[in-house]
Amino acid sequence: MPIYEYRCSSCGFQKEHLQKMSAEPLTDCPSCSQATYVKLVSAAGFQLKGSGWYATDFKDRGSSPAAPKQNDSAASSSAPTPGGCGGACACH
């Protein structure tokens, strides 16, 4: 079950709650009982560390990715982004 962060916009009380993903969001503040308790958006607490399969099997070893095929009807071309992900990820 994921942990969600909530904050009351009335009194400022903030707390983490362990909830099922399918559970309805909490609305009543445990501190002041107002219906102003809202779920916060926060970064996931997931990090890959160490020398696991992701580092040994998928780590960029300095090789450049194959150049994408260019369509002759394309009006413009864009330079590849650093890292070889094509800019379609959140790392840029």
What is the model's pLDDT at position 9?
Answer: 95
Cβ-based neighbour number of residue 6 at 10 Å: 19
Q: What are phi and psi of 57, to 5 degrees?
A: -95, -30
What is the model's pLDDT at position 27?
Answer: 95
- Across residues 34-41, what is the average pLDDT? 94
Does the pLDDT of residue 36 top 80, yes or no? yes
Does the pLDDT of residue 11 top 70, yes or no? yes
Does the pLDDT of residue 14 top 70, yes or no? yes
CA geometry: angle at 92 spanning 58 and 59, to 5°? Answer: 10
Residue in the structure block whose two tokens are 């090789």: 63
> pTM score > 0.85 for this model?
no
CA distances from 16 to 20, 26, 45, 67 (A): 13, 11, 13, 46
Query: Where does the pLDDT of residue 41 fall: very low under 50, low under 70, confident under 90, or very high at 90 and above?
Result: confident
